[in-house]
Structure 1
Amino acid sequence: MAKKKGLSRPAKVFWGLLAAVLIAITGIWGYNRYMEKKKVEQLYQHGFQLLEEQIATYIKENYSGVRKIEFSPIYIDGDGRFTMRTAEVVPILYDEHGNKAQFGGKINHSGYPSYGILNYLRIDWDIYGTEMIELANQSGDYVEVTYGQSLPEVTKWAENEDIDSNIEALVDIGKLKGIEKSAEGSPSAEIRYNVMLKKGILK
């Protein structure tokens, strides 16, 4: 019985090189996908860190009786192509009496917002691939801010109806106690930022 002929040496070299090239291409593609994902995540985290600072600054400077301000994770939903991409976070307040309450949702048949890229925050990249982060100021105009730098004075709110009405509603139903609008603020209030990303809709 005749022996089966194996691949010739040139053929083996060719297929070996082809396999190496395909592995390299797959590796480069996978690395680029990973880096693109990290770039997007970093943009969201930088933008929301600044938005959380803006919210926390307003509460700390304008409300007394606040012991701690913290934030939910950043909930991201949609793919930005076939469905609208949303990203939102809500503040969580603690009073001096041991009570804790989360913003947003419905209270006494009234709805209260979360905070994110559909209101208060805009994020994107410019033509050079540099991060663009904008926060809504007192008049509702968007002002460009830079991650890692102090929050510009022009982005600090003197009034915020969404926050004011939400705190008032939480106090009215007894979820929070002793928190009231005051120029004294809560200078010793602890602030805990949260830039952890989660997929899904905030409940």
Structure 2
Amino acid sequence: MKKKVSIIVLIVLVIAGGIGFMVYQSQGVGTILDAKGVKLYQHGFQLYEEQIATYIKENYSGVSKIEFSPIFVRGDGRYTMHTANIVPVLYDNNGNKAILGGTIGNRIYARYGLLHGISALDFDGADEEVIYLSDSATDQEIDVSKSKNLPKEAKITYDPEMDDNIEALVKDGQLKDVKKNKAGSPQVKVSYNIEIREGDYTKWRP
């Protein structure tokens, strides 16, 4: 009886693993991340997107919506550098939208992702998740490995790189009436995205 139960459990696990593999293959990341890696990346980027959205919501007026692109991963981490990036998108109250990052005028603004906002995304010796978010104003790394949602200590109060980026978008006319303001945009809608795709984040447009 015990042998039958063991065989049934094994069959279920094999089927579940096969389904999981097909799901990740269909997303185009099967050769880069396994099921455990997908879970890690989704957890880390969920917290990172919350950090970005919270900062904008609490420090900028005139924003009606914040949305995020899928998580774009590239490289195998062995022969080619392993990268993972997202594209945040801001909408103002006038119907305009603009992406953060990229080039405005002659300046290239920082990307958003692994090693640029997320300083660590890995497993430790006990196979536990290791996730650190960055505070660009203080150069500190904040351990959020055990957090389901953005903890208070991971909220940032000042982000000079993002501030410069948003100011440039306004000056360039891509956004209108978006201002640094402690009143913030409390009614802003946020559309998070933890879908993982293999590809070039710079080619994505909302």
Q: Is the 8 A contact 1:46 1:147 kept in 2?
A: no
Opposite residue 92 of structure 1, the aligned amino acid is: V
Q: Is the 8 A contact 2:101 2:165 kept in 1?
A: yes
Match of 1:132 in 2: 130
Opposite residue 185 of structure 2, the aligned amino acid is: S
How much does 1:70 deviate?
0.5
Q: When the two structures are superposed, what TM-score results if normalisation uses the length of structure 2?
A: 0.79
RMSD of equivalent CA atoms? 2.1
Q: Is the 8 A contact 1:64 1:181 kept in 2?
A: yes
**Deviations 1:6-55, CA, capped at 9 Å, x for gaps:** xxxxxxxxxxxxxxxxxx9xx69x75x94971111111111000000000
Match of 1:56 in 2: 53
Q: Report 1:62-77 matches (<5 A).
A: 62-77=59-74
**Deviations 1:136-171, CA, capped at 9 Å, x for gaps:** 124122111146534222221111111101111110
Opposite residue 52 of structure 1, the aligned amino acid is: E
Q: When the two structures are superposed, what TM-score results if normalisation uses the length of structure 1?
A: 0.81
Provide the C-alpha distance between the structure 2 equivalents of 1:100 and 1:131, rounded to a whole number of angstroms: 35
**Deviations 1:117-152, CA, capped at 9 Å, x for gaps:** 121112111112111111112412211114653422
Q: Is the 8 A contact 2:47 2:149 kept in 1?
A: no
Match of 1:87 in 2: 84
Match of 1:178 in 2: 177
Give unmatched runs, 5+ long, in structure 2: 1-10, 25-32
Match of 2:7 in 1: none
Match of 1:44 in 2: 41
**Deviations 1:86-143, CA, capped at 9 Å, x for gaps:** 0011210000000011111110110012211121112111112111111112412211
Q: What SS does the aligned partner of 1:111 have?
A: strand
State the 4+ residue runs in structure 1 displaced beyond 4 angstroms. none
Provide the C-alpha distance between the structure 2 equivalents of 1:105 and 1:115, rounded to a whole number of angstroms: 10
